[in-house]
Chain A
Amino acid sequence: MAEKPKPGFETLAVHAGASPDPATGARSTPIYQTTAYVFDDVDHAASLFNLQSYGYIYSRLTNPTVSVLEERLAALEGGRGAVATASGHAAQLLAFFTFMEPGDRFIASNKLYGGSITQFGRSFKKFGWEADFVDPDDLAALQRAITPKTKAIFVESLSNPGGVVADLEAMAEIAHDSGLLFIVDNTMASPYLCRPFAWGADLIVHSTTKFLSGHGNAMGGVVIDGGKFDWSKSTKFKSLTEAEPAYHGLRFQETFGDLAFTVHGHAVGLRDLGATMAPLNAFLTITGIETLPLRMERHVANALAVARHLERHPAVAWVSYAGLDSSRYRHLARKYLPKGAGAVFTFGLKGGFDAGVKLVESVELFSHLANVGDTRSLILHPASTTHRQLDAAQLLAAGAGPDVVRLSIGIESLADIVADLNQALAPFA
């Protein structure tokens, strides 16, 4: 008998994790809007609480709708398992919570989304976790930043808003040579455009709020484990290798093998952080993902065309899109983002800060808001909104200077997107 071929990405996007409902045969994934699940008997309950058998206890830990989404995301990234969370920020918190202790450090790109820089640089300090921010273009600096207390390197495959593409393969090598975990935020690329596990990532995080759910209607996040990292190779990752008192001395890696991170993420991470995804949001995200490949094709085609148009526009000083030949990241984009460099990019207005404010208030079709990865085209002036918490130096480092406007190009008719930008830019041309 011939072996079955591996299903393609588009098939996984529609089917992974979602067989017909075992109880009813319902074909679309039901929304299990329940907090808890009955036990067969006391012995069954004990088995579940001791992690000896599979089953649902309480929706803070697992929920049948959410677990369909988790399996689908793990399948799309080619990972072993996934833990869905209430938001992308919750996913980052859960990922680090798994292995960080007070006094531990990690290295993060200084080109991250501003909200991540604030979470890592300020709020994480309250747990005693220290982030060392490094320019991701400077691999030597990345190497130099490693200390004996460093446990992980965290980068975005494609950064918002700077249009920075990370050299994932080289960074993974630096991380693994020092026994560090390599974590990649793949939100802006989505698994359709970039495959971080193939380049050596150990964990992938997403804000599923963006392209994955894709319609701007459901908050969510996820941590996906590649299942390849050997937690017991050093003494840095004790939570997965040493006896866990709350589970009577159970050792996660010994008991669950390459499922250790995924089981720990639910049984300890979600149990204690409580940042669980709601079943309705999981349902909306599952539905969104079914059309991810189709949407991403249109997103990147529209984005490239708009970027090329703006590059020729007299009101525009520069366009930073890794899909353009003028981008310094073009060669990295060819390697890591062969199907397109995403749909979010920035451009600079010759008229500076004031022109940026005027532009976002003059568009009609573009929505002025703080999100990306929606079917709708979105516009933002980061310096006056999302990146306000950063100081002037951080603003420049994050690619969010005063003249910068960010676009998230939607899947509307290209002619209408271009016409709206033209009319709003006309006063500056």
Chain B
Amino acid sequence: MGKPVNHDSYSDEYLRGILRDVKTIAMVGASDNWNRPSYFAMKYLQSKGLRVIPVNPAAKAAEILGEKVYPSLDAVPVPVDMVDVFRRSEEAGAITDAAIKQHAKVVWMQIGVRDDAAAQRAEAAGLKVVMNRCPKIEYSRLCGELGWSGVNTGIISAKRRKL
């Protein structure tokens, strides 16, 4: 184990490592409304070859973007590498505990979502944790696409960009 992760400032290497390793994501709070942020994120991550399994007890649709919707994380029948928390901070703890139970490798909490106690439990169980970030924004930042929108990606490199 290296030194503890600083949850106020993640290194590019830490985020890049997670996004390179992860193949299957359970997105808790995925919306079936095409104009919600979670739908944007799911569609983008799918376009990068990642499988995103929507979890949402309140979803009216049976499927979102071609994937069956499950009512809870426990109900997802396949192993997931990462649990993406698109719910408020107050719900992040219970979702994190379910993610630990599911043997996920990563818990990722969206922008505005943070629960340091839950993060400690996940890290103690060997999971990696990212809080208050969006995987779509970080993926696009690290692969250079975010710069297409005039955003400061913070990447300085004389090599062609890839994730």
Contacts and interface: CB of A to CB of B under 8 A. Distances in A.
Contacts of B156: 7, 11-12, 15-16
A15 B157 CA distance: 7
Contacts of B163: none
Nearest to A22: B160
Contacts of B43: 47, 52-53
Contact of A19 (B44, B146, B149, B158): B158
A75 B146 CA distance: 13
Contacts, number: 107
A71 B35 contact: no
B152 A254 contact: no
Interface string A261-288: 0110110000000000000000000000
B111 A54 contact: no
Contact of A74 (B40, B151, B160): B151
Nearest to A20: B160
A147 B26 CA distance: 49
A248 B40 CA distance: 13
Contact of A257 (B2, B137, B148, B152): B137
A248 B39 CA distance: 14
A56 interface: yes
Given A52-B40, A81-B149, 7 more contacts: A19-B160, A54-B146, A55-B148, A64-B148, A74-B151, A75-B152, A81-B152
B161 interface: yes
B22 to A, nearest CB: 19
B160 to A, nearest CB: 5
A91 interface: no
A261 B112 CA distance: 17
Nearest to A257: B111
A1 to B, nearest CB: 7
A80 B40 contact: no
A50 interface: yes
B134 interface: yes
A257 B149 contact: no
Contact of B35 (A53, A54, A248): A248
Contacts of A15: 156-158
A62 B150 CA distance: 8
Nearest to B145: A54
A33 B151 CA distance: 21
B88 to A, nearest CB: 13
9 contacts: A16-B152, A16-B156, A21-B160, A47-B47, A53-B43, A81-B151, A257-B134, A259-B151, A266-B150
A22 B162 CA distance: 9
A25 interface: yes
Interface string A62-92: 1010111011001100011111100000000
A20 B161 CA distance: 8
A263 B160 CA distance: 25
Nearest to A83: B150
A25 B160 contact: yes
Which applies to chain B's interface (DSSP): helix, strand, loop or mixed? loop
B150 A67 contact: yes
Give the top 4 A-B pairs by smallest Cβ distance, nearest first: A70-B150, A74-B152, A54-B145, A81-B151
A262 B150 CA distance: 7
Given A19-B158, A22-B160, A67 B152 contact: no
A7 B157 CA distance: 11
Contacts of B12: 4
A423 interface: no
A119 interface: no
A74 B150 contact: yes
Contacts of B39: 52
Given A25-B160, A53-B47, A259-B137, A19 B148 contact: no
B54 to A, nearest CB: 16
A79 B151 CA distance: 9
A250 interface: yes
A266 B156 CA distance: 24
B137 A19 contact: no
Contact of B148 (A1, A67, A74, A83): A67
A27 B152 CA distance: 19
Interface string B110-127: 011000000000000000
A16 B156 CA distance: 6
B133 to A, nearest CB: 9
Nearest to B38: A255
Contacts of A200: none
Contacts of A54: 140, 145-146, 148-149
B2 to A, nearest CB: 8
B102 to A, nearest CB: 27
Interface in B1-25: 2, 11-13
